[in-house]
Amino acid sequence: MSDSMQFVVQPGGALTGRIRVPGDKSISHRSIMLGSLAEGTTYVSGFLQGEDCLCTLNAFRAMGVEIQGPNAQGELTIQGVGLHGLQAPAHALDMGNSGTSMRLMSGLMAGQAFDVRMIGDVSLSKRPMKRVTVPLSQMGAVIETTAAGTPPLQVKGGQTLKGIHYDMPMASAQVKSSILLAGLYAQGTTSVTEPAPTRDHTERMLRGFGYAVQTEGNKITLQGGGKLTATTIDVPSDISSAAFFMVGASIAPGSDLIIEHVGLNPTRTGVIDILRLMGGDLTLLNEREVGGEPVADIRVRYAPLKGITIPEELVPLAIDEFPVLFVAASCATGQTVLTGAEELRVKESDRIQVMADGLIACGIDAKPTPDGIIIQGGQLGSATIESHHDHRIAMAFSMAGLRASAPMTITNCATVNTSFPGFVSLAAKAGVRITSHE
Ligand code: S3P
C-alpha cells in the first residue's frame, strides 16, 4: 500500500473544550448488514463514514442493495431486500483493512445462493480467518482460504446450512457474530458460548430488527428461518475513538475535556474502568439510552496516573483500546502489567510487538510477553514511529506526543481514515499540537 501520510506532534498541549468523535464502527457495520437484509426501509443516523464501514456499504451495494447516503450528517437510507434478496456481485468484494467486514460477512455469505470472493489490504491479508471458517464449515459452509488460513476467501454458495452449538476457543465478537449471522440462514438452532463477555451489538441489533435472540449467561442462541423487520438506528459516538482523547486528557497537564454522546455499552467500557483503576479522573454526565444502547458525555480531567495490574476480565471489554492504554501506562508512575491479551497479536498489526517497539524507541522500558506486556512508566522521548498500517497505533502515538520530550513523527497514517476520519483536525481542535503531511 502506498501511504505517505505522516503525523507530527509537538509536545505540551492540553485538551480542553467539548468534542464529538465519529460514530461507532461496530454498530455502523451491523446497521448496513441488517438494514440490507431486512424487509422495509431502515434509516440510520450517526453512521461512521470511515473506510472500514464504507467497505461494508459498498459490498451490499455490489449485491444489489439500494443505499442512499451517507450525507454529511451520517444519515443513510437502506432499502432492505430481505434475507434472500441479495444478488451475486460482479466482482470480488474488497474489505480493505476491515476484519469486522470480512469475518461477519463470511457468516452471511455462507448462506447465499451465489459464490462470493472476498479480498483485503496488506494488513487484512495477513489476519487469521480459520477462526470463522472452521465453525462455519461445521454448519455446512464451503469457504476456501489460503494455505495459511488468510484471505482471500472464496465462499461457495448454494449450501444448506444447519445450526450448530459452538464453544468459542477465544473471546471474539467477530467470531460470535459470524456464526450467529450464518445461523439466520441455518436449519434449526444455532448457539455460541463465549469464554468471556464480548461486545453484544449483533445480539442487540438483531433484537432491534425484531429477531428473537436468547442470551443465558455466556450462551447466545437463535433459530434460523426468521425475518428482519426494518427499523431506525441512531449510532452513538465510538468509545474506541473517544479512548484516545480519554487518555490524552488524562496524561496532559491542564486538560479538562468533555467528549459528547459516547456509546457506553457495558461490553465496551473496560477503558473507563482501567483508567479509573490507574487514577484517571473520568465523570459520566447526562447518561441516557439511545436506540437500545446506553450513551453519556464523558468529562476527563488531567490526573497523575499510577501503574496497575490490569484485571484479565477487563481485557475483552477494552480490546481495541490497549494501544492507547499502553501510552497511559508509559506516563504512569510504576509498573503496568497486562496478561491474557494474546488476541492483540492478531489485530490490524501485532499490537503487543508494534507498541513495544514504538515505546522502546521512545525510551520507555516495555517488555512484550506472549499474552501481554509489562510497562514501566517513565519520561517519553521522541521517535519516528511506524504505524504498520494500523490506525490505532498511529492515533495512540499521537497522544504519546503530548508528553514526549521533543516532536514525535508517526509514519504511514492513512489507515486512520478506516475508523476515524477527521482525527487530526479534531485532535488539533481539542488542543493536541498535531499536523499531517503527505
Ligand atoms: C469487533 C470486534 C473486535 C474488535 C473489532 C470490532 C466487532 O474484534 O477488535 O475492532 O465489531 O465485532 P474481536 O471480536 O475479533 O476481538
pLDDT of 341: 98
- Could you list the beta-strand ranges (E) of 137-272: 142-144, 153-156, 165-167, 189-193, 214-216, 219-223, 232-234, 256-263
| Secondary structure class of 224 (helix, strand, coil) | coil
Closest alpha carbon to 88 in 119, 59, 53, 52: 59
pTM of the model: 0.97
Indicate the pLDDT class of residue 79, thresholds 50, 70 and 90: very high
pLDDT of 143: 98
Going by DSSP bridges, is the β-strand pair 39-45/93-94 parallel, antiparallel, or unpaired?
A: unpaired
The answer to whether the CB of 4 falls within 8 A of the CB of 409 is: no
Indicate the pLDDT class of residue 432, thresholds 50, 70 and 90: very high
Residues 52, 234, 238, 320: which is the catalytic one?
320
Of 320, 419, 420, best ligand 1 pocket probe by most atoms within 8 Å of the beta carbon: 320
Q: Which residues in the chain are classed under CATH 3.65.10.10? A: 6-15+267-276+305-437, 25-234
Question: For 372-401, how does the pLDDT look when each residue is reduced to its tens digit (9 = 90+)?
Answer: 999 999 999 999 999 998 999 999 999 999
Indicate the pLDDT class of residue 325, thresholds 50, 70 and 90: very high
Indicate the pLDDT class of residue 359, thresholds 50, 70 and 90: very high
CA–CA distance, 26 with 21 (Å, rounded to integer)? 14
Mean pLDDT of the chain: 97
pLDDT of 292: 80
CATH, domain 25-234, list 3.30.420.40, 3.90.190.10, 3.65.10.10, 3.50.50.60:
3.65.10.10
Q: CA 372 → CA 92, 96, 340, distances in Å?
A: 36, 27, 6
Q: What is the mean pLDDT of residues 111-119?
A: 98
Regarding the beta carbon of 127 and ligand 1, being less than 6 Å apart is answered no
Annotated active-site residue 52? The verdict is no
Closest alpha carbon to 34 in 239, 210, 278: 210
Query: Ligand 1 centre from 171 Cα, in Å?
Result: 10
pLDDT of 309: 98
Buried-exposed string 250-287: b where 16+ CB fall within 10 A, e elsewhere: bbbeebebbbbbbbbbebbbbbbbbbebbbbbbeeeee
Q: What is the mean pLDDT of residues 405-432?
A: 97
Indicate the pLDDT class of residue 3, thresholds 50, 70 and 90: confident
The answer to whether the CB of 331 falls within 8 A of the CB of 251 is: yes
Indicate the pLDDT class of residue 290, thresholds 50, 70 and 90: confident
Q: What is the mean pLDDT of residues 89-114?
A: 98
Q: What is the mean pLDDT of residues 76-87?
A: 98
Indicate the pLDDT class of residue 2, thresholds 50, 70 and 90: low
Regarding the beta carbon of 200 and ligand 1, being less than 6 Å apart is answered no
Of 24, 29, 124, 174, best ligand 1 pocket probe by most atoms within 8 Å of the beta carbon: 174
So what CATH class is 6-15+267-276+305-437?
alpha beta
Regarding the beta carbon of 241 and ligand 1, being less than 6 Å apart is answered no
pLDDT of 4: 87
Regarding the beta carbon of 198 and ligand 1, being less than 6 Å apart is answered yes
Confidence check: pLDDT of 163 > 50 = yes
Indicate the pLDDT class of residue 1, thresholds 50, 70 and 90: very low
Regarding the beta carbon of 388 and ligand 1, being less than 6 Å apart is answered no
Regarding the beta carbon of 351 and ligand 1, being less than 6 Å apart is answered no
Which grid coordinates belong to 331?
A: 506516563
Query: Ligand 1 centre from 176 Cα, in Å?
Result: 10
Confidence check: pLDDT of 122 > 90 = yes
Query: Ligand 1 centre from 104 Cα, in Å?
Result: 10
The answer to whether the CB of 119 falls within 8 A of the CB of 92 is: yes
Query: Ligand 1 centre from 141 Cα, in Å?
Result: 22
